[in-house]
A and B are shown apart, each in its own frame.
Chain A
Amino acid sequence: MIRMAILDSVLRRMVDAASLLLDSAERDAVCGDLTESEESGSRALREVLSLVVRRRAACLRGWRPWLTIVGLTVPLSVLVSLQSRRTADGTAIYLWLYVNNWDWMIIHNSGFWRELAQCAPGVLLSYLALACWSWTTGLLVGCFARRILWFSGAVFFVVALAVSVFGVPVFFDQILVLQRARDFHNNAAVFLEDFYRRVFPQCLQLILVVLPAWRGMLQGRRMDRFPSSAQVFLLIAATAAVGTLVSTNLLWWQIRVWDIWPLRQPRLPSLMPLAIAGPAAYLLLLAPLVRRDQPSASQS
């Protein structure tokens, strides 16, 4: 009897949690109906979940949500995941050099510090650029797939994970640059380590792709708090940032502009100003909103 009561209480908490996925007015009406009907916890949970599923599925009716997913979410996810893999492999060599071959003697070597000073900014810049690109792609997904963010976000992360684990189809292999540091024989020692081959790319993807992209999606969903002109400015900045992400991954583009003045091979750090354009524009536009909200908060 006590066990049943505990189970029912747990189920009711789950009902409350599931009902948060409904609009506030509908949540009130549905939870009130369930209380009035004295439904059991399991029945109430089934009822609420059935409504949540129907509401979510209704957003996917028509061609527009699918066009957004196929035309925006999937390509951005593939691009940012490829960039993450390339960044992970490229920087793994430096990490291996300095972490796996470290000892107390080496810190007394001036060459060690000189080399470290030369490569550390490049590694940090590539991490910063990846985080900015991820945030920007998340912002665009959140902005254009506002009503289906739950689904579009899930597709984004599943595709990113799939690309990270399995790679991309052969067709894309010919268009996109997939050469990575691990493809070169000289780096074999690094990628013999299971950590650098499997674990490190996933860790980097979690920290520099999943978290910033998720944040960007949530902020993109609330783009309508900015005036229209600010939204256009932000979208232009985000598009420019994504343009640099595309250009760093397109093989034909890289070959075409290879050392041809004024088009140089697009790569970091010269791409940095454009890579950070999305977050920079967002912070720039957010500042007046924060300043406007602060006095009203202090008054209240």
Chain B
Amino acid sequence: MLGEFEYLLITAAARLGDEAYGAAIRREIEDATGHRCSIGALYTTLDRLQTKGLVKTWMGEATAQRGGRAKRMVKVTGTGVQAATSFYRAVTRVSRDVSWGTQ
């Protein structure tokens, strides 16, 4: 079972598709949650997910916008998609008949 932050990271990476890399995922998470996402949490979680085989990462191209530094690109694997789907279903099931939005 994924952790909450792991789910956020995988979902953000899946949404970004080919454009998924450190800074972009961080922006997605911050926009979605309204909270700061630390680089430390992001990269250590990314490593954990990679170890579990849920994402694949590699060094991408460098851009002038980044001061000539390379990006760490991220792609969600098939196992990652399954894990995120399972987490989403569990959250949906457990939330059934609970109307948080109206309280």
Binding site for B on A (CB under 8 A): 25-26, 28-37, 47-48, 50-51, 53-55, 58
Contact = CB atoms under 8 A, between A and B. Distances in A.
Contact of B70 (A28, A47, A51): A28
Interface string B7-40: 0000000000000011100110000000000111
B39 A32 contact: no
Interface string B67-94: 1011110000000000000000000000
Interface residues of B, number: 21
Contacts of A30: 22, 39, 43
Given A29-B70, A50-B39, 19 more contacts: A25-B59, A26-B43, A26-B72, A28-B69, A29-B43, A29-B71, A31-B67, A32-B22, A33-B39, A34-B39, A36-B65, A37-B26, A47-B40, A50-B40, A50-B41, A51-B39, A51-B40, A54-B41, A55-B44
B66 interface: yes
B67 A29 contact: no
Given A25-B59, A25-B70, A32 B40 contact: no
17 contacts: A25-B70, A26-B43, A28-B62, A29-B71, A30-B22, A31-B67, A32-B22, A32-B23, A32-B62, A33-B26, A35-B65, A36-B65, A36-B66, A47-B40, A50-B40, A51-B39, A54-B44
B65 A48 contact: no
Contacts of B27: 37
Interface string B48-72: 0000000000010011011101111
A48 B22 CA distance: 14
A37 B70 CA distance: 14
A19 to B, nearest CB: 10
Contact of A29 (B38, B40, B41, B69): B69
B22 A29 contact: yes
Contacts of B69: 28-29, 31-32, 35
Contact of A53 (B23, B40, B67, B70): B40
A29 B68 CA distance: 10
A9 to B, nearest CB: 15
A29 B26 contact: no
A72 B70 CA distance: 40
Contacts of A31: 67, 69
B52 to A, nearest CB: 15
A47 B39 contact: yes
A32 B73 CA distance: 12
- Counting from the closest, the 3 A-B pairs by CB-CB distance are A32-B69, A50-B40, A32-B66
Given A28-B59, A29-B59, A32-B69, A48 B39 contact: yes
Nearest to A31: B69
B43 A32 contact: no
A32 B44 contact: no
A74 B39 CA distance: 34
Given A25-B59, A51-B44, A35 B66 contact: yes
A36 B59 contact: no
Contacts of B21: 29
A51 B43 contact: yes
A53 B43 CA distance: 12
Question: For B21, B22, B39, B63, which residue has the most chain A Cβ atoms within 10 angstroms?
Answer: B39
Nearest to B65: A36
Contacts of B41: 50, 54
A141 to B, nearest CB: 26
Contacts of B26: 33, 37
Contacts of B59: 25, 28-29
